Structure 1
Amino acid sequence: MERSSAAVGAVRRLRTHPAQQQQQHPRPNQQQQQPPWRPGQEPDGLDGKKPAGSRGGGGARGLPLLPEARTALLLLLYLLALRGIAHLSLRRLVQPAERRPGEDFSAPRARTYLENITAIGPRAVGSPENEIFTVNYLLEQVKAIETQSSHVHTISVDIQRPTGTFSIDFLGGFTSYYDNITNVVVKLEPRTGAEHSVLSNCHFDSVPHTVGASDDAVSCSVMLEILHTLSKSPKPLQHAVIFLFNGAEESVLQASHGFITQHPWAKSVRAFINLEAAGVGGKELVFQTGPENPWLVQAYISAAKHPFGCVVAQEVFQSGIIPAETDFRIYRDFGNVPGIDLAFIENGYIYHTKYDTADRILTDSIQRAGDNILGVLKYLAESDKLAKSHEYRHGNVVFFDVFGMFVMSYPARVGSIMNYIVTAVAFLYLGRKTLQLRKRVSYLKELAIAFGFSVLSWLAVLIGVLIIAVFISLLGRSLFWYTHFHASVLLYGTAAVAGLILLHTLAKTFYYKNTSEQFLGELFFDVPVVFWSIMLALLTYLGHSSAFVSAIWIVFPLLTKLMTYKELKEKGATMKFLAVYLLGMFIPHVYSLYLNWIIFEMLIPILGRSGSEIPPDVIVAAFIVLATIFLSSYFLKFIYLAKSTKMSIITLATVSAVMFVLVCSGIFFPFSSDFANPRPKRIFLQHMSRRFHSLDGQLAKSDSGIWINGLDYGGISHITPHIPELNDSIRTKCEEGAPLCGFPWILPVDYLFKKNWYLPAPAITPKKPAHFQLLSKERTPSDSTKFTFEITGPSHMSVFLRPREGSTLSRWSLGDGTPLANNVGRDYFIYYTHGLQASPWRFWIEMKASEEPTKGMVTLSVVSQYLFEEDHNSPQLQALAERFPNWTFTSGWVSTYDQFIF
């Protein structure tokens, strides 16, 4: 296909050999063809033509191209250096510094608190360990601190036992009700009093079967030591500091709701710091701030000694990719208070397991957390802005740490202006080049073709690697990377790189075979400039503060272009050019790798407990391919500036193929029982008894057995060789018509765990069984039917509601009075906990029917969870748990399920 003119710019037509062009007859009235280039006019081949006489191994005027072996070696060393720098930055905890005894945070003393709290054992809500022993220990320590405090401060202590209810759109949406749970609230204030306060929050409860050293005993230990340090200060603070040791966070954020909505001190809170964990030790990451209130970020920047936080982590967390919430959500939504959310993120593999013990948390990790939180709390307690924090709520802020050394921040509105300026500069650069070359080559058209081909190559590589991931999942080798993460990089990463190099080599060989290599180098440098400019403009328009990453990928490459242009133009693609180019691209590459590693640090452990329905290999493969595309976007030009890519493609394809064979052979077992670095498989075992009642209240059917849930995509496939009776022959079936399929879910996560197993076992009768009764049924003036119920039972219970055909649930006594249905299904889920002492739980619902109901108006299920004490275990449950291999972590308890129709 011919271009519109035989004049100087037709790149595709230049595929014809110059000798053949001389034999062609000119068309009538056609002007005499100009030479490929004139003296002083782009003698470096940027007009798209490969000058006659140039050899296959050189660019314009025979300028050299990059030797494949040395180029590949240099790129490999460069990537390893990037990885090493990012790793060292993420693992560096504290810098040696001169400390002032008595004035600075003492990690050894905080460790003593930590060891004493974890020595109490697991601390589930409603257990004596949580409600009595831990509370008494905290009170003793606060009293001891008070005796050593200076005369300028006073310490007040209050034990709060709140009762309340709220609805939250977490896990599809559900409603929570709590009764007589526990908060230990400590206020440090100037002796003259203080009108305003800053809140520091931790939780001392834990999930069953773990002592919860990182989640969240270490945070409470840090807060005790901060209280000790601040109370001894000879200088009074301007504002009060409230330390909330909340005793019911693991029961879906209930204690924080009880404090912020009911405690009289909550009215004085103007800002908060929430201390959480998604891993065991390491650095504590600032992953949420605000809402808005950029002055809080500035307070962290000014006061934290070892800053570590990024708005990218905030946007990833708030996107819902990570299925988790913290007390930050409660203070923000129900208290309208701005704050900072911090969490330990390292080694999430053992989070919420028996391995989360005090000895796994480094003293340096405690020290850096204490230094940071003490500094920020003290800064806020002495800030004039705290008293009028709502007046400083003016937009979001862009913030990111630079390898843990310092934090950069600026208002998001300033960032938007900067981003649009960078986008404009990028398009001015492209526009100038287009105008310069318009008489010699249709550069804009060639750029569009190259951009389209690059996008297609990215999509092709992504689809190809995802097909590999799906095949591995279907083969039953999913999660091979859980203990061997490097294997996923060697499989998916090398496959992605090999695919990109192959596709662009084919384009170079067949489509661009008579085009100047230097022109192609320019062209495929500009392709990522266009890509990142589009990303920058789009993300900025959508209001994402993380758009600054795209700006980095434009600014530094353009500066690098200025540094390397002369070298490339005069001497060709030399190793010196490559070295200078890599040096100029160092910052965007190392920072992007740094961010990617933080995301993988949080994401990979979560994928080991993300349920049976989401193929985690697809997610890991997609993330690795996207990371590869981003990190290699400015490396594509080297494919066109290299003499050859044959050995690179063969080597990468071989590595990927070998890894594929090894993965398919099962050599990479996903889980590990190595005590020093465990990667356990998580299993829930519930010995349950179920009873289903008919509309007339009679028992229709009942059964009992051990209900088994594997928390990962592999289910129990790895368990069957060890316990043969656990196989797909005992897969559970959904009870049609029953809320949440008739199973005793502790949270409404049935949509994530559709594959579960049921092993028949003898019926169980708890010594403290739950009691449920209908107290009244009456018609209301609004033509509804009001049902009032009463329930007594263990500390953890749930109620599932499903309106029957022709009926709707209009009102109830829970939450804000408006029923919140789970948006994943059509059921209503009510989560209930209570402390040691609680009154019978009464609530009412109002049902409306479109016609006279003959089959009932609502199906209601009452679930009781016995998580501790004598009722929590059974001989059958214990015997089964002991048969599981040592690379598993089993959580077992007893449950009852009673279904009624009204």
Structure 2
Amino acid sequence: MRQRPKGSSEKSNSSVSSSVEAINNGKETPLYDNTKNVVVVAKRSSYVILALFVLVIYGSWGVYHYQFESLPLPLTLEQVGKRGFSELEAMKHVEALTQLGPHPVGSVSLDRALQYVFEASESIKKTAHWEVDVEVDFFSAKSGANNLVGGLFNGKTLVYSDLNHIVLRILPKYASEAGENAILVSSHIDSVFAAEGAGDCSSCVAVMLELARGISQWAHGFKNAVIFLFNTGEEEGLNGAHSFITQHPWSDTIQMAIDLEAMGIGGKSSIFQAGPHPWAIENYALVAKYPTAQIIAEDIFSSGAIKSATDFQVYKEIAGLSGLDFAYMENTAVYHTKNDRLKLLKPGSLQHLGENMLAFLLHAAASSNLPKDKGESSQDKSIYFDILGTYLITFRQRVANMLYNSVILQSLLIWTTSLLMGGYTAAISLALSCLSVILMWICSIGFSIIAAFILPLVCSSPVPFVASPWLVVGLFGAPALLGAFIGHHMGYLILQSYLSCTFVGRKRNLPMIVKSDVAKLDAERWLYKTGLLQWLILLTVGNYYKIGSSYLALAWLISPAFAYGLLEATLSPARLPKPLKTLTLLIGLSIPFLLSSGMIIRLTGTVIGTAVRFERNPGSTPEWLGTVIIALFVAAIICFTMVYLMSYVHISDAKLPIIVGTCILFAISLGAAWMGVVPPFREDTARAVNVSNQRLLT
């Protein structure tokens, strides 16, 4: 800080001019306060911006690693005893089933898999607690017609015949009423024709068998039965679940359904559908040891963006049941391919799901207040998300409505007050700062889509990043960030030019050069506040349509707004703007990144993994479609999450390094894909194909 002593006007103006000149030569931002006769120097070098970017990247990766990749240690049977869950015991079942090779419906290998599960169930029956009844039923559905009204099979009638299932029911021997109220745990034995099905779904079948072994030692204290359904025909159109729920005599006793699935292989099994009644997810949150659940996955899945379906749809739609739907989502690229193999199943994956499920089943089976009303309305559904895979937060939709409406109304009140106090100048400034956000979106999407169209022209594969998902950072993240910054900076220059003109008339006692620099600071603050407005709009839309993942918009709005109000905000128009504090950014973004960065990385990996299936029907879709979808997804993430950080860059020395750095990163990534340094597919990540099996008539 430089302080100007009182004296002659000539000496004072000379002092201010020399100070400003020295400041500008040193790449610093001045602030002249007429009431205190001081010029305040605020430094923001390129090193600060670089440090912030590094913190965002490494912090996000750290959150992702802790939230999704930190798995529990596999336990042996000796460690857990008769009543616990042992991954090593479950792995024996996975090994036995995968050794049979692919076992689709109608194959001999599926018959062998059914026989294996039947024998394992009989073994559980023999070793069960003496006060527990274990019933094993080899159920055969002769024929049926499955007509679903939503999801992947909407409008289609699937006819099936000769489907065989293993049904295992566990209930207390001396509490006959428990048989009238049951909890269903379901998964499928069959695999697609090309895969041995280690992930989809031998891993889930193995978890169920080990759960049944443990449950059979606890069930003498249950108030509800537990039914384990090992069905076949899921890969043919959810026919196994349909045949059981419509034809088996035990289906009428089921009060809640839990489906175990895999959209990849291993990792943490996450809840991606819950409800419609909130009882299951709320009680799961109470007892789960390693809870992993994100309602944003449910929103995406329910929207139809992911062309897939699970047995949980049958249980909800046909039987009107509530419950939970779990899925493994690690390494999505191997889903339904020959690489769905045992060696890719990470140690700790089964232990994670097994311990969570065991705790929940023990709690639910002993409860006397299972939801009884089948088909209950989902108007008061539960909003849920986990924090670092350690805590699961749940709250009802009515609470969310009150919270969101309160925040929206208060935000609108603050914006209205601010605009009324600022008058015409504030309204124009807001419009121009909104223009900068619009330009940011246009340029970010434009640059990333251009990169998406370049890839098929220079690479042997339209999806050269499937085997190495990190390549997307350079191929799409770099151009998206470059475009976002260029668009944002264009809007900043327009806004700064306008504010400079307004300061000429309003602040007559300031030197001209100080007015220009003060306009830069005011433009910076307007851009930061417009980032808040962007998330406010998203929250309003999400609240209107009752989108469960709107809590993310709330976090990205409230936390930065709180930091700004705590450290920066003022309603006095007489005070000149100050440079935004780096502490404001750190406080404001810490909670949003903690809640969303790991999930964003996981979702990006899932989207990349599904891109491999765009090419299974050559000629059915354009080659560029998969890359364009990923490019749009990455650009949207950049624009939503980087809007606050970009407002800090415009008055720093980091503009040129950002432009050069993103260009170099894109060039290196494109060159690596073009020259084959990073192959599009590997031994463990292959292209998915469809094979049509036609019978020739002679």
| TM-score bucket of the superposed structures, by smaller chain | 0.7 to 0.9
1:122 positional shift? 2.1
Q: Tell me the distance in 2 between the aligned counterparts of 1:214 and 1:596.
A: 23
Match of residue 492 from structure 1: 476
1:297-696 aligned within 5 A: 297-386=281-370, 388-390=372-374, 395-438=380-423, 442-476=425-459, 477-509=461-493, 512-513=496-497, 514=500, 515=516, 516-565=519-568, 572-573=578-579, 577-611=581-615, 612=618, 613-614=621-622, 615-643=625-653, 645-673=655-683, 678-684=684-690
Q: Which one has the bigger helix percentage?
A: 2
Report the AA paired with residue 318 of structure 1: S
1:465 positional shift? 2.0
Query: In the alignment, is the contact (CA less than 8 A) between 1:65 and 1:641 conserved in 2?
Result: no
Query: In the alignment, is the contact (CA less than 8 A) between 2:28 and 2:44 conserved in 1?
Result: no
Q: Tell me the distance in 2 between the aligned counterparts of 1:226 and 1:322.
A: 30
Report the AA paired with residue 48 of structure 2: T
Report the AA paired with residue 174 of structure 1: K
Of 220-229 and 59-68, deviating more is 59-68
Match of residue 765 from structure 1: none
Superposed CA offset, 1:703-744 (max 9, x none): xxxxxxxxxxxxxxxxxxxxxxxxxxxxxxxxxxxxxxxxxx
Which of 179, 193, 206 is matched with 1:208 structurally?
A: 193
Q: Call closer, same or farther: CA 1:446–1:99 in 2, change over 3 Å.
A: farther
1:522 positional shift? 1.8
Q: Call closer, same or farther: CA 1:164–1:392 in 2, change over 3 Å.
A: closer
1:186 and 2:161 are equivalent in the alignment:
no
Looking at CA atoms only, which structure, 1 or 2, has the larger radius of gyration? 1
RMSD of aligned C-alpha atoms?
Answer: 2.7
Report the AA paired with residue 113 of structure 2: T
Q: Call closer, same or farther: CA 1:491–1:115 in 2, change over 3 Å.
A: closer
Match of residue 273 from structure 1: 258
SS of 2:415's partner is helix
1:461 positional shift? 2.2
Q: Tell me the distance in 1 between the aligned counterparts of 2:360 and 2:140.
A: 29
SS of 1:374's partner is helix
Q: Tell me the distance in 2 between the aligned counterparts of 1:606 and 1:510.
A: 41
1:235 positional shift? 3.9
Query: In the alignment, is the contact (CA less than 8 A) between 1:60 and 1:517 conserved in 2?
Result: no
Match of residue 145 from structure 2: 165
Q: Call closer, same or farther: CA 1:418–1:453 in 2, change over 3 Å.
A: same
Of 556-565 and 635-644, deviating more is 635-644
Q: Tell me the distance in 1 between the aligned counterparts of 2:428 and 2:265.
A: 53
Q: Tell me the distance in 1 between the aligned counterparts of 2:696 and 2:435.
A: 57
1:83 and 2:83 are equivalent in the alignment:
no
Q: Tell me the distance in 2 between the aligned counterparts of 1:601 and 1:465.
A: 17
1:54 positional shift? 8.4
1:173 positional shift? 4.0
Query: In the alignment, is the contact (CA less than 8 A) between 1:59 and 1:518 conserved in 2?
Result: no
Query: In the alignment, is the contact (CA less than 8 A) between 1:57 and 1:643 conserved in 2?
Result: no
Q: Which runs of 5+ in 1 are unaligned?
A: 1-50, 686-744, 746-864, 866-894
SS of 1:380's partner is helix
Which of 101, 108, 114 is matched with 1:128 structurally?
A: 108
Match of residue 697 from structure 1: none
Q: Tell me the distance in 2 between the aligned counterparts of 1:661 and 1:573.
A: 40
Q: Tell me the distance in 2 between the aligned counterparts of 1:425 and 1:547.
A: 17
Report the AA paired with residue 539 of structure 2: L
Taking every aligned residue pair, what percent have the same amino acid on both sides? 24
Superposed CA offset, 1:227-269 (max 9, x none): 1111112742101111101122112111111000010100000
Q: Which one has the bigger strand percentage?
A: 1
Q: Tell me the distance in 2 between the aligned counterparts of 1:148 and 1:115.
A: 22
Query: In the alignment, is the contact (CA less than 8 A) between 1:171 and 1:323 conserved in 2?
Result: no
Q: Call closer, same or farther: CA 1:659–1:601 in 2, change over 3 Å.
A: closer
Which of 25, 33, 50 is matched with 1:73 structurally?
A: 50
Q: Tell me the distance in 2 between the aligned counterparts of 1:630 and 1:640.
A: 18
Q: Call closer, same or farther: CA 1:456–1:60 in 2, change over 3 Å.
A: same
Q: Call closer, same or farther: CA 1:523–1:142 in 2, change over 3 Å.
A: same
SS of 2:213's partner is helix
1:784-795 aligned within 5 A: none
1:898 positional shift? 6.8
1:662 positional shift? 4.6
Match of residue 268 from structure 2: 283
Match of residue 6 from structure 1: none
SS of 1:185's partner is strand
1:310 positional shift? 0.8
1:226-237 aligned within 5 A: 226-233=211-218, 235-237=220-222
Superposed CA offset, 1:526-561 (max 9, x none): 101111111111111012111111100111001211
1:356 positional shift? 2.2
Q: Call closer, same or farther: CA 1:393–1:644 in 2, change over 3 Å.
A: closer
Q: Tell me the distance in 1 between the aligned counterparts of 2:121 and 2:310.
A: 25
Q: Call closer, same or farther: CA 1:628–1:234 in 2, change over 3 Å.
A: closer
1:69 positional shift? 2.0
Superposed CA offset, 1:318-375 (max 9, x none): 1111111010111111111112110111012222233323333234111111111112
Report the AA paired with residue 680 of structure 1: A
Q: Call closer, same or farther: CA 1:76–1:285 in 2, change over 3 Å.
A: same
Which of 290, 295, 304 is matched with 2:279 structurally?
A: 295
Q: Tell me the distance in 2 between the aligned counterparts of 1:156 and 1:58.
A: 78
Of 179-188 and 460-469, deviating more is 460-469
Q: Tell me the distance in 2 between the aligned counterparts of 1:151 and 1:683.
A: 50
1:500 positional shift? 2.6
Report the AA paired with residue 179 of structure 1: S
Superposed CA offset, 1:474-503 (max 9, x none): 445521211232222113212222223233
Query: In the alignment, is the contact (CA less than 8 A) between 2:481 and 2:638 conserved in 1?
Result: yes
Match of residue 175 from structure 1: 157
Q: Tell me the distance in 2 between the aligned counterparts of 1:236 and 1:637.
A: 60
SS of 2:613's partner is coil
Superposed CA offset, 1:599-658 (max 9, x none): 123221111012441511101111111111111111132134425623322332333344
SS of 1:180's partner is strand
SS of 2:105's partner is coil
Query: In the alignment, is the contact (CA less than 8 A) between 1:350 and 1:356 conserved in 2?
Result: yes
SS of 2:83's partner is coil
Of 243-252 and 641-650, deviating more is 641-650
1:454 positional shift? 1.5
Which of 119, 125, 146 is matched with 1:140 structurally?
A: 119
1:414 positional shift? 1.2
Superposed CA offset, 1:549-604 (max 9, x none): 1100111001211343289x999548xx3145224311212322222112123221
